[in-house]
Amino acid sequence: MTWPMFQTYETPDGSAQDTADRIARLRELMARAGLDAVLVPHADEYMNEYVPPCGQRLTWLTGFTGSAGLAVVAR
């Protein structure tokens, strides 16, 4: 038996270029701030189990739509 997968790695609008542009822009901001890496968790600022659309930073940045994840973006 195969289990269905409920996650995707596509941006909501389907554009991989948007994801690349967002990560490039984040890296520019990191360089200005003197940061070597940034963690982008799936959770929102309140650590809610349900993350509202306005708090889905991981999906916005990477296109990952799974229920748990963490992105590490390095310069």
Kindly report whether the global pTM for this prediction surpasses the value 0.85.
no
Residue 9 lies in a domain: no
70 and 40 Cβ atoms separated by less than 8 Å: yes
Residue 7 lies in a domain: no
User: Residue written as tokens 């270029």?
Assistant: 17
Name the token pair of 9. 């790695």
Query: The domain containing residue 24 runs over which residues?
Result: 16-74
Residue 21 lies in a domain: yes
Q: Of 2, 62, 72, 9, which Cα lies nearest the Cα of 37?
A: 72
Residue 61 lies in a domain: yes
59 and 18 Cβ atoms separated by less than 8 Å: no
Residue 5 lies in a domain: no
Single-letter residue type at 64: F
Helices (H), the chain: 16-33, 57-62
Residue 62 lies in a domain: yes
What are the tens digits of pLDDT across the range 49-74? 888 988 999 999 998 888 889 999 99
What are the tens digits of pLDDT across the range 5-28? 555 555 455 577 889 999 999 999
Number of domains in the chain: 1
Residue 49 lies in a domain: yes
